[in-house]
Structure 1
Amino acid sequence: MIKLMRFPSATRHCIEIDVWLSTEPYQLYSLAQRWFLTLRSCGPDVRELMHDGCPTACVGDAAFGYVNVFKTHINIGFFLGANLNDPTALLMGTGKRMRHVKIRPGEELDSEALNELIKQAYTGMKSILQEP
């Protein structure tokens, strides 16, 4: 059985996330906003909350992704990222479950591959939640 991060307090739209995403430095937070909006739009069952200071996206109450901003880059993180198929090797990390993609302004990014990872994370979590 896979241990999931569950957040019963996740809501359809968390205003605190919108405030966080409008923070300076604009270049980094606008990147974070772009990718969180992608997480947010995965499906009608997506819920969200701030967890450990990061906007976090859930399928229902089960977390599947997050964004975080650092001094020179952002991370798009996946709670079960170790299970994702990543043929372009975007994922970083060595933990048992979690992985992230590091994005730096001005550096080339395979957006199509990242979109695919987000889709996999969402659909994978949906599948896990439907298991008996």
Structure 2
Amino acid sequence: MPEPGAFLRFDGAVRHEPAIDRWLDSRPPALGAIARAWFARMRACGDSDGQVRELMHDGAPTACVGDAAFGYVNVYRAHVNVGFFHGHALADPAGLLQGSGRFMRHVKLRPGEAVDEAALAALITAAHADIRSRLRA
């Protein structure tokens, strides 16, 4: 069971933040396409219940359940990070997660490099489920 109350909350998260789409459009095409695809996967986590909200946080599109953050994407010069605010708590049998911080982990994606899409999709689903569990606790 996740630690209750251990999550970040952000004021201003909305169902769909147009600034995120503008930000994604402004990225280099190859990197922007990667970021857009994986952020769309985060957005889709809430299709059935409408609980996924989003906002720009620290210059990056961030996905939340209500106001509690679970994931983000960010574009750098040569790669995209798909990150998880509680990545330390996620099972990662494919070994995709990187980082050694107290909580956060990310998956680094580069254009033209293969990624285990099923494993990354599972991490996104697990991050969404994890934050929902934290909120219920």
Contact 2:84 2:127 in 1 (8 A): yes
The equivalent of 1:101 in structure 2 is 107
Pairwise CA RMSD = 0.8
> Does the alignment pair 1:20 with 2:20?
no
* Runs of 4+ with deviation above 2 angstroms: none
Q: How does 1:1-132 map to 2 (within 5 A)?
A: 1-43=4-46, 44-131=50-137
SS class of match (2:12) = coil
Distance (whole Å) between structure 2 residues aligned to residue 108 and residue 87 of structure 1: 17
Identity of aligned residues (%): 53
SS class of match (2:62) = strand
> Structure 1: 5+ residue runs without aligned partners?
none
Distance (whole Å) between structure 1 residues aligned to residue 28 and residue 18 of structure 2: 19
Aligned residues: 131
Contact 2:5 2:135 in 1 (8 A): no
Give TM-score, length-normalised by structure 1: 0.97
Q: CA deviation at 1:23?
A: 1.2
Distance (whole Å) between structure 1 residues aligned to residue 125 and residue 76 of structure 2: 24
Q: CA deviation at 1:2?
A: 4.7
> Structure 2: 5+ residue runs without aligned partners?
none
